With several copies, the nearest count.
Chain A
Amino acid sequence: MIRVCVQRESFAPGALLEELEAVGGGGVASFTGIVRGEGDLVELMLEHHPAMTASAMREIADRAAQRWPLLGVILVHRYGALVPGDRIVFVGVAARHRAAALESCAFLIDWLKTRAPFWKRERFADGRTRWIEPRAEDDRAAARWEV
């Protein structure tokens, strides 16, 4: 089971975990990304390449399923205007054993960071906006999965 969702609305991690728990594995790992409210941030605007996003995410999920023995993968990524505390992204993985679930979960979020066509613009209380630049740290995190 591989499912990829690109959506404006929020999602319920608990319901997604229940689906992953039902596929018969011994372990379900998840990561949920949330808008941090730092430095007077009032909005995080996520722009994406609508025609490309789902297929790019699907490719990332397929890559994980080739590399680890996974029973289920759910990726959800939101776009649009978010506020601090909002969920941005969900990665959930089910596998027979925990190592595959935990490693592939880390892989999936690292690759979404650097390979899913999203861009983030911060807007602050004073009206100033700023496009988030990719962090060298994120490139390093993604690079550790290169074979």
Chain B
Amino acid sequence: MAIEMLYFAWVRERIGLDREMIDPPDEVATVADLIAWLAMRSPGHAEALADPERLRAAIDQSFAGMEASIGKAREVALFPPVTGG
């Protein structure tokens, strides 16, 4: 099942992409799994995603924890903690 990945802030800068379509294998079940799997795609991905504790995620435009299931996600965003206001 294809998922659109969105990257923001330094995650976007290090990966060098603001979005990409991916098709992870079935064993990639959670956001944490997805991050580990994506980290293998390129040196930029590896650098951006090296420290999952510094990352946050949103699934289909809602904030999601690292253990959230990506089962039915059409869009997953990865980014640093937000700094609004």
Residue of B nearest to A60 (CB): B84
Q: When the two chains form their complex, are residues B77 and A33 in contact, meaning their CB atoms are under 8 A apart? A: no
12-50 of chain B: CB within 8 A of chain A: 12
1/0 contact string of B56-85 vs chain A (CB within 8 Å): 001001110000000000010101111111
How large, as a class, is the contact surface on chain A?
20 to 34
- Count of interface residues, chain B, beta-carbon cutoff 8 Å: 18
* Contact partners of B82 in chain A: CB under 8 A: 114-119, 134
Q: How far is the CA of A14 from the CA of B6 in the complex (A)?
A: 37
* Contact partners of A134 in chain B: CB under 8 A: 81-83
Q: When the two chains form their complex, are residues A119 and B79 in contact, meaning their CB atoms are under 8 A apart? A: yes
Residue from B61, B81, B85 within 8 A of A49 (CB atoms): B61
- 17 pairs across A/B with beta carbons < 8 Å? A47-B9, A49-B61, A51-B61, A52-B61, A52-B62, A52-B77, A89-B85, A98-B85, A113-B84, A114-B81, A116-B85, A117-B8, A117-B58, A117-B79, A119-B8, A119-B82, A119-B83
Give 5 nearest A-B pairs by CB, closest first: A116-B84, A119-B9, A113-B85, A118-B84, A52-B61
